């Protein structure tokens, strides 16, 4: 749930940044970006000539965001924009959570923590579903095998793929309770008996 809220916040931040950049680019198109030239003519009895001064605005340079280590799960991006008056440049790093998960799982496995490594990978909904399809459920608070499968069945809201699981299982309501049609069958049989009386 927290991941979904964070993704929505990140999307809002991205939309805000895109809006600001679009607004700035729109303002730039309204301004003419021509270099200013001044011509100075000096005349004297001995020297005459023309001097041209070019006053082109400086350009904004995008900052280089350097990630020195190869073992870092993040990527860098930078951009810059320049007008006659103002230049803006910025850079950002973006974390790759799936890369982090793989590195953490690999580290746990190398330390002999095989169940911990599998549990780390099982935080990804795709791996959770693949493990379930293979008949080897993901660990659940120290339980493995059939005990883990039973614990996941009793606590489906803790599954990483819970939203998809609810859509795929229409017999389960939002609270994780199993909906049966026994009550409807009982009411129908009572009405049928009343009809025959």
Rg (CA), the chain: 33
pLDDT in tens, 48-63: 667 776 666 666 677 7
Taking 70 as the pLDDT cut, the residues of the chain under it are: 1-17, 19, 21, 23-49, 53-60, 65-69, 170-195, 197
Cβ neighbours of residue 48 closer than 8 Å, sequence gap 6 or more: 41, 42
Q: Is the pTM of this model over 0.85?
A: no
Neighbours of 58 (CB within 10 A): 7
The Cα angle at residue 138 between residues 136 and 141, in degrees rounded to 5: 135
Residue count of the chain: 197
Which pLDDT does position 172 carry in this prediction?
Answer: 59
Sorted by where each begins, the domain ranges of the chain are 98-177
């Amino acid at each position: 749930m927290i991941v979904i809220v964070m993704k929505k916040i990140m999307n809002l931040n991205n939309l805000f940044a895109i809006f600001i950049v679009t607004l700035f680019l729109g303002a730039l198109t309204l301004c003419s970006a021509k270099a200013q030239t001044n011509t100075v003519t000096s005349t004297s009895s001995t020297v005459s000539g023309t001097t041209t001064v070019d006053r082109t605005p400086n350009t904004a340079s995008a900052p280089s965001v350097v990630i020195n280590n190869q073992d870092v799960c993040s990527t860098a991006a930078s951009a810059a924009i320049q007008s006659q008056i103002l230049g803006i440049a910025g850079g950002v790093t973006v974390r790759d959570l799936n890369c982090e998960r793989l590195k953490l799982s690999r580290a746990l496995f190398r330390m002999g923590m095989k169940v911990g490594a599998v549990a780390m990978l099982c935080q990804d909904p795709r791996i959770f579903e693949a493990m379930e399809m293979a008949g080897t459920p993901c660990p659940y608070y120290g339980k493995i095998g059939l005990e883990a499968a039973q614990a996941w069945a009793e606590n489906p809201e803790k599954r990483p793929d819970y939203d998809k699981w609810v859509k795929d299982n229409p017999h389960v309501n939002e609270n994780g309770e199993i909906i049966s049609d026994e009550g409807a069958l009982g009411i129908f049989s009572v009405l049928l008996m009343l009809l025959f009386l």
